[in-house]
Structure 1
């Protein structure tokens, strides 16, 4: 089964299921906008991980 890339919004993307969902969707080609409370401090690792997926895909 093939899926057509979509634009997806994921909230709570700094950890747990939100983070895993955002990462998995990005890895299979969806455009993901990941919402989280803060992009610095304890959540900075999540930003770095999702940015790495973005870079590997050659996006923006």
Structure 2
């Protein structure tokens, strides 16, 4: 796999890197949960109608 990563085609390198990181052993399972989530989830708001003949358009 190291040979493919170093001398293979770009498609083969991508596949080899995916396999390498998929099967790489994680000795400390808590390392994945160290950082807190730094984003917030907001509810989706609809875009107000900008058409002049829109039924929902309020004056």
Superposition TM-score, scaled by structure 2 size: 0.31
Larger Rg over CA atoms: 2
Q: Which has the higher contact order (CA 8 A, sep 6+)?
A: 1
Superposition TM-score, scaled by structure 1 size: 0.30
Which structure is higher in strand share? 1
Which structure is higher in helix share? 1
